[in-house]
Amino acid sequence: MTAETHKGTSCAAHKEHDKTPTEPSSIKRMLFLLNTLSFLLSFPILFCIVWLLYAREGKCEHLLPLHKLHIGVVVGLIVLFVISNVVVFMRSRFLMLGFIVVMVPLIVILTIGAALIGAFALESRPIPGSPMWLKVMVNNDNNWNAIESCIYNSRTCQDMAIQASIVTSDDFPRRHLSPIQSGCCIPPSICDMKYVNTTYWERKIQVSTSLNEPYDIDCDSWQNSVTKLCYRCYTCKKGFITTLKRKWYWLGVFLVVVTVLLIVSHLLLFLAAMWERYA
């Protein structure tokens, strides 16, 4: 009788165990979410690669030695995209090795991004693409002579003059101009010149040529000729630098943000996987 009771109890327990739903544990749900997050974070990298390949050269940017940097960033992002996804899908086989391997390109790309946004502004040797490097290269006379010709040949000022041909003197100052247009195509506002048309301005006052006032020198550099205008002005160089800085600065911001998010994601994924394996 006791044996039969024990047998019946065992069968009942077995049936009850079979009816118990097998739900995934919280650690497995966390691993799934972190895997998904790491995978989704790689897609902005892919979009950035496509954008860099599409916008290989900015306006006259090809005259500066930025080609290697451009290629290096693209190759680095491709490597990061591949490694990040391989580590996500091969995590169970190469846990420690995968974590180490993915951290190397992440730290490299993070360093490049920090350099592009000017985080190393006090470096003794300017980093290509950084604000200090762009300023040094553009202020080089040999480089600027080529850039000046390129800006003229791109018809930036000529096209602006055509578009503004019906604009009155009262409306012109309110027009939205790009940094290159406002720096190279018209005289600086401090010169207080009278607007006649887009490429012709009359002097109102006699300006100083003091070397301590670069904008006054720009006023004297302005010429009412479509081939000269303010191409030799400091404001023209500043406008060109601003145009390049915008591209590389925002690229740097993107690289820093994405790599920081990926570092956090892969670190949490590694810790969760270690907990699942050894806890």
**What's the domain count of the chain?**
1
Q: Which residues pair with 223 in a beta bridge?
A: 229
Tell whether 214 is covered by a domain.
no
What average pLDDT is seen over the chain? 79
- In b/e form, how buried is each residue of 221-253, taking b as 16+ CB within 10 angstroms? bbeeeeeebbbbbbbbbbbbbbbbbebbbebbe
Tell whether 205 is covered by a domain.
no
Residue 92 DSSP symbol:
T
* pLDDT of 7 over the 70 cut: no
List the one residue out of 40, 42, 44, 39 whose CA is nearest residue 251.
Answer: 44
- The answer to whether the CB of 262 falls within 8 A of the CB of 256 is no
Helix %, strand %, coil % of the chain (to 5): 70, 5, 30
Q: What is the mean pLDDT of residues 234-238?
A: 92
Q: Whose structure tokens read 């055509």?
A: 162
Q: So what's the pLDDT on residue 36?
A: 84
User: In which domain, by residue range, is 259 found?
Assistant: 28-133+240-278
Tokens of 100: 């180490």
Tell whether 10 is covered by a domain.
no
Tell whether 210 is covered by a domain.
no
Tell whether 69 is covered by a domain.
yes
Q: What is the band of 33 on the pLDDT scale with cuts at 50, 70, 90? A: confident
Q: So what's the pLDDT on residue 22?
A: 39
How does pLDDT run across 113-122, given as a tens digit for each residue?
A: 888 887 655 5
How does pLDDT run across 170-221, given as a tens digit for each residue?
A: 666 656 788 898 899 988 888 888 888 877 888 765 544 554 554 468 888 8
- The answer to whether the CB of 256 falls within 8 A of the CB of 113 is yes
* Separation between Cα atoms, residue 176 and residue 164, nearest integer Å: 11
* Separation between Cα atoms, residue 259 and residue 103, nearest integer Å: 10
In degrees and rounded to multiples of 5, residue 209 shows phi and psi of -110, 30
Tell whether 87 is covered by a domain.
yes
Tell whether 250 is covered by a domain.
yes
The pTM for the full model equals 0.73
* Separation between Cα atoms, residue 275 and residue 279, nearest integer Å: 5
Tell whether 211 is covered by a domain.
no
Q: What is the mean pLDDT of residues 52-60?
A: 73
